[in-house]
Structure 1
């Protein structure tokens, strides 16, 4: 469970740095506010530490970064359009709150 939280923290860090705080912010008026909110969430998730070997997660993150580079601006636009999914995944991975919507977690 903690490994899922760590993974989501790393994904959010990537989205903030490599998507939201790039030239794409000129196209979307509130993207900097979203980036600040996500950055504050990742700081609150500082206790999410990976237990075990990180190589698998880091390899997947690197593949995600490479794919984003290949897609260019279209990839960044798609990532912004799917921020709601990112919030759902973060909630599922990093909280004990009751899950909402179609992405329900079974205990």
Structure 2
């Protein structure tokens, strides 16, 4: 968990910079509006996650799944492909497994996270030209790490949702209109 803490500290420092601050932008496209409006959705993601965070973090004693390599790839010129692959992974594998394996009390926050992820994935695909995306990310490495964790993989992936939210926020903040 020390490694995760280092990543978390670095991300918090990045978020405190002016690129992550709320500011008004004069958007002339839906994609610009999507990026500028994402902080509201991020607040909803974090609120839903807080309801289940303690449960998943208490069951997490594995090496990080969302490591510095993932963060670097999200911040690369092909970050939109990385985001698409990760959102696809969470929507098709992690969230459905979490709902099946765990308590019913966590179904509503997981559904909320899933719905926002679906919207995010749809909007990112629609706006791929806006993001000027380049060569794809090698997602197989992340998926292989998850599969090696067996049953603990879901707890690991769910326990790192807050980190994924920060990666998403950082990526979208980097695409905000410069003023």
Question: Is the shorter-chain TM-score for this pair beyond 0.5, marking a shared fold?
Answer: yes
| Aligned equivalent of 2:92, options 14, 17, 25 | 17
Structure 1 counterpart of 2:122: 43
| Aligned equivalent of 1:82, options 157, 160, 168 | 160
- Quote the offset at 1:17 in angstroms: 1.0
Runs of 4+ in 1 over 4 A off after TM superposition: none
- Quote the offset at 1:5 in angstroms: 3.0
Structure 1 counterpart of 2:143: 65
Instruction: Map 1:86-97 onto structure 2 (within 5 A).
Output: 86-95=164-173, 96=175
In 1, the alpha carbon distance for the partners of 2:84 and 2:166 equals 13
Aligned length: 91
Q: Which has the larger radius of gyration?
A: 2
Structure 1 window deviating more from structure 2 (38-47 vs 8-17): it is: 8-17
In 1, the alpha carbon distance for the partners of 2:158 and 2:151 equals 11
Output one character per residue of 1:39-60: Cα deviation in whole Å (capped at 9) or x when no partner: 1111111123632x33xx1xx3
Check whether the contact 1:19–1:79 (CA below 8 A) recurs between aligned residues. Answer: yes
In 2, the alpha carbon distance for the partners of 1:40 and 1:2 equals 22
Structure 2 counterpart of 1:104: none
Structure 1 window deviating more from structure 2 (25-34 vs 72-81): it is: 25-34
In 2, the alpha carbon distance for the partners of 1:42 and 1:63 equals 21
In 2, the alpha carbon distance for the partners of 1:5 and 1:67 equals 21
TM-score (norm 1): 0.71
In 2, the alpha carbon distance for the partners of 1:72 and 1:36 equals 26
- Quote the offset at 1:2 in angstroms: 4.8
